[in-house]
Structure 1
Amino acid sequence: MPQLSSLQAAPLPSNMEDSYLTSNGPFSTGKIMDPENFFGDIKKALEQGKLLNVISEFRKMKERLSRASVSIAVTGDTGNGMSSFINALRVVGHEQEDSAPTGVVRTTQRPTCYSSSSFPYVELWDLPGLGATAQSVESYLEEVKGSQYDLFIIIASEQFSSNHVQLAKAIQRMGKKFYVVWTKVDRDFNTSALSESQLRQNVQKNILENLQKEWVKGPPIFLVCNFDPFSYEFTDLRNVLQNDIFNIRYNPSLETLYCICDKSIEARAFYMKDRELTQYLQGALPTGDAEDLQGCLETYQNLFGVDDASLQQVAQSVRFGEDVMKYRADMKSQNFRIACQRDLGLRLLMCVAVKKFLGFLGCWFWYGLFNWVISGFQHLRRRRIIEVIAQDTKIILRKILEDYMSFL
């Protein structure tokens, strides 16, 4: 099929793709994504149908994002033990030189940044106690530059005050995630007549009820002891925190990447369908049966990089030898017969009634009078094949990148 193979060497015009992408809205970028350079490399790889090159660019992005800084603010009422909590989270003794200063009176006068070997490239910010530097939660957050933090940890003990509730409400308005950490739980267990499980339930219920009154969604709640960083719910806290740090680093950029890939594939399909239309109008499209369309399908699979050979290379790269069928199972277009069964548009274009109608129009006694109608149906089938393969490519590419992300 010379008409199709010529597309292999035909890059998508940049002005066409740029206008196509712009019309579908802007992208949101991650923490350290470089959209222009990264998009250019991805576009080139997708134009050439080289999914391995897409994975290579993805690897570079992941390496960069793994070093992206994540800022976590630790805040709460004065005297609740924010600095002690930071030391416990970092597994640093209060007497060590780089520990956060603690005491019975307010010791943190301004936001102070600490690092931890347990959380690489994470900044733990010890904020002044709420009410110590401002008259309202809003002015407090403005004073400590609350918008610069990716996640908040609200420290409480003895009671979950109105200050805590208003702080949680303000953080929710900013669209930021937060935890509530109840410190000094060892003292609560020692002085309460309730069992540990009952006390836990009471603390969590009280926090959630106070938040719900102000229409604040319930956050993760952890009960800890600052002087025993390996007991109570500190381990759970660290696990959840690690997962959220991962999401903060990667999720925005991953969604941007998926969007870029989807739009690039759609733009490529748009260009291929435009080529098909040009050939149809010029009378260059042949008419034929399902075998011709099977060849058309295989050619476009190759152009999009989702043929068997390409997917086998990808499978070996992502999972070191895992079978290509892992990805082929997600395709509607493994062959033309399956594509017709699974896609309504192709099924209608290949139904018995259409075949009989075209067969009637193609009879010799019409002297080719209705060849343009037959060619038109052929054109519609090819366009639909392109759309099906483009959709399959988007699904498979997302699956590949998700697999690669989880594998690393």
Structure 2
Amino acid sequence: MLSRVEAMNIEKALADGNLPEVVSAIRESLKMASRTPVNVALTGNSGNDMSSFINPLRNIGHEEEASVPVAVLKTTQTRACYLSPHFPNVVLWDLPGTECAAQSLENYSMEMQFSRYDFFIIIVSEQFSMNHVILAKTMWDMRKHFYVVWTKLDMDLNTSALPEGQLLQIIRENILENLQKQRVCGPPIFLVSSFDPLSYDFPKLRDSLQMDLMKNRYHELLQNLSHMCERAVNDKVSFLQKKIATESLQDACGISDADDLAVCLKAYQLLFGVDDESLWQVAQRVGRTFADYMSIMKSCDVQGLSTRNWKLTCMTCTVFRSFLGLLRCIPWLGNLIIRYFRQKKQRCLLEIVAEDTKAILRKVLEDSIIPQ
């Protein structure tokens, strides 16, 4: 969770339009969150090769001292936890098989304390049984992320007369069909051989797990950061709109000509911290290029903006400018109408820059957790 001090620092930096400082505060918060342990539970029927699956997942050979005990008979009677340098700050829990439940399978999730785990891997071999379906339905109802991993694939291929591609397709379709009957949306399915970890889906499994665990760890924090940033930008927009209504924005921002959209655009970009210099600093701190952030900006220049936004197109066309010129001949009413449309243009410009700021912040959050 975001601490009160961290939240205040980010909100102040956003209010000041100091986007590089916002980025630094966000990255520091994510750095702290990266140390939070993530608990991954492996479960399934006994004899489904759960224990031997953990060793290659940890990138450890079965013969190494730190490996999980592997045997033909059931080896896991109580919960056991393991660590791996391949998954920093991740705890892998080898749970007893479903047959070890003291009562019914429905009570298995309570006995194993499913609520304490962040992520699940259902280990399957030979048959995707009703036990596996119930496990998946339980995790789905608890809104827990999970994988289905079919092990002993080498044995299936050796004993089947079907071509490899057809057998793999049948296995996947069978798992999905059984899950759909319980209205469980298909989770990622991986077909592997625990004793040949470089083959089939094992490399893809490790890469996917690493990325999904990272997203899982940061999910709540990213949501909090995203909502907080959006709220801070909206508050700033409301404040500036009041300034526009009283025409005091010119004094506050040093705008020399309120009718010059290029001058106003530059002033708004500076206020929100999405000017060229600030974006260059943001890119440097996140480890991306300046072009990565400029490419998502809609308010790069007034000329391009006027052609893409229909409101600005209407209010900046030659006919409309001529109409405003005629209004200047009407002393009181003309000035009132001109002032109305001037404020309308500035509000439109302000909202576009604010949306650009939100888009930049969303990309910063995304870029801060995804490795280059």
Compute the TM-score of the two structures, normalised by the length of structure 2: 0.87
Equivalent position amino acid for 1:75 in 2: T
* Structure 2: distance between partners of 1:325 and 1:232: 38
Distance change >3 Å, CA 404–CA 216, structure 1 → 2: closer
* Structure 1: distance between partners of 2:115 and 2:241: 46
Shift of 1:223: 2.8
**Runs of 5+ consecutive residues of structure 2 not aligned to the other structure:** none
Task: Tell me the equivalent position of 1:184.
Answer: 152
Distance change >3 Å, CA 94–CA 289, structure 1 → 2: closer
Distance change >3 Å, CA 97–CA 407, structure 1 → 2: closer
Alignment of 1:148-163 (within 5 A): 148-163=116-131
Alignment of 1:134-145 (within 5 A): 134-145=102-113
Aligned with 1:374 (options 338, 345, 358): 338
**Structure 2 counterpart SS, 1:181:** strand
Task: Tell me the equivalent position of 1:28.
Answer: none
Task: Tell me the equivalent position of 1:8.
Answer: none
Distance change >3 Å, CA 197–CA 52, structure 1 → 2: same
Confirm or deny: 8 A CA contact 1:75 1:126 kept in the other structure: yes
**Runs of 5+ consecutive residues of structure 1 not aligned to the other structure:** 1-32
Alignment of 1:67 onto 2:35: yes
Task: Tell me the equivalent position of 1:343.
Answer: 309
**Structure 2 counterpart SS, 1:116:** coil
Alignment of 1:219 onto 2:190: no
Alignment of 1:7-86 (within 5 A): 33-86=1-54
Task: Tell me the equivalent position of 2:353.
Answer: 389
Aligned with 1:207 (options 175, 185, 191): 175
Equivalent position amino acid for 1:133 in 2: A
Distance change >3 Å, CA 39–CA 348, structure 1 → 2: farther
Alignment of 1:398 onto 2:366: no
Compute the TM-score of the two structures, normalised by the length of structure 1: 0.80
Distance change >3 Å, CA 317–CA 117, structure 1 → 2: closer
Deviates more, 1:310-319 or 1:177-186: 310-319
Distance change >3 Å, CA 151–CA 295, structure 1 → 2: same
Shift of 1:72: 0.9
How many equivalent residue pairs? 370
Task: Tell me the equivalent position of 1:16.
Answer: none
* Structure 2: distance between partners of 1:352 and 1:145: 70
Confirm or deny: 8 A CA contact 1:83 1:126 kept in the other structure: yes
Task: Tell me the equivalent position of 2:101.
Answer: 133
Confirm or deny: 8 A CA contact 1:211 1:218 kept in the other structure: yes
Equivalent position amino acid for 1:248 in 2: N
**Structure 2 counterpart SS, 1:34:** coil
* Root mean square deviation, CA, Å: 3.0
Distance change >3 Å, CA 405–CA 371, structure 1 → 2: same
Equivalent position amino acid for 1:333 in 2: S
- Over the matched positions of the two proteins, sequence identity in percent amounts to 48
Task: Tell me the equivalent position of 1:359.
Answer: 325
Task: Tell me the equivalent position of 1:302.
Answer: 270
Shift of 1:317: 4.0
Aligned with 2:279 (options 269, 290, 311): 311
**Structure 1 counterpart SS, 2:96:** coil
Confirm or deny: 8 A CA contact 1:111 1:125 kept in the other structure: yes
Equivalent position amino acid for 2:344 in 1: L
Equivalent position amino acid for 1:73 in 2: A
Confirm or deny: 8 A CA contact 2:222 2:365 kept in the other structure: no
**Structure 1 counterpart SS, 2:89:** strand
Task: Tell me the equivalent position of 2:86.
Answer: 118
